[in-house]
Amino acid sequence: MNLEGLRVMGIDPGLTRCGLSVVQAGRGRAVIPVAVGVVRTPSDAELGNRLTRISDAVEEWLDDYRPDVVAIERLFERGNVSTVMYTAHAVGVLILAAARRDIPVHHYTPSEVKKAISGNGRADKQQMTTMITRILGLSEAPKPADAADALALAVCHCWRAPALAREKQVAARTREFKRRLEQRSKQ
């Protein structure tokens, strides 16, 4: 399935640093970088102010770049529950911004992204940054790591989108087939 031109916003969620990126699917596995950046919030600011800052930034990006889909890192507990909880607040704000625009959101675990980009689900930050720089043909590595992670999420979705679209088609056909079978059995 050809999804050339698909515009994907990748988001590496965080309350202190939130990586944002936009890429566009090209022909085959080619991906064209459009924008990358990081939203920062001061750790000593109140939670509401930090979330507002993240919300304003992502809303601006969504309006400026008009992505077709958002790819965001799936949260998982890494040992510090309070960090996960604060990040979850930011994720909620990010998903809400996309939902208000009817933009679908896909979630990927870090290991899924690492596997898609480097072939190794346990790749370290430096390997990921090197691979994303190479894949996108960037003249220099995106910094900080949150920016590179946001790009990796977007590229991961570009590469998985054709399979996801096929799965959706198969599911729709299966539902239609079952519906027809039920109609026939009622006759």
Residue-wise pLDDT tens digits, 69-127: 999 999 876 677 888 888 999 999 999 999 999 999 999 999 999 999 999 999 999 99
Q: Is 146 a catalytic residue?
A: yes
Where are the chain's structural domains?
7-186
Residue 12 annotated as lining a ligand binding site: yes
- 73 known member of a binding site: yes
- 73 in catalytic set: yes
pLDDT at 77: 67
Enter the pTM of the model: 0.89
Mean pLDDT of the chain: 93
**CATH number of this structure's domain 7-186:** 3.30.420.10
CA-nearest of 96, 67, 74 to 3 is 67
Rounded Cα–Cα distance for residues 126 and 157 (Å): 21
The catalytic position among 4, 12, 64, 102 is: 12
Q: Confirm whether residue 146 is marked as ligand binding.
A: yes
User: What is the reported pLDDT for 9?
Assistant: 98
Query: 124 catalytic, yes or no?
Result: no
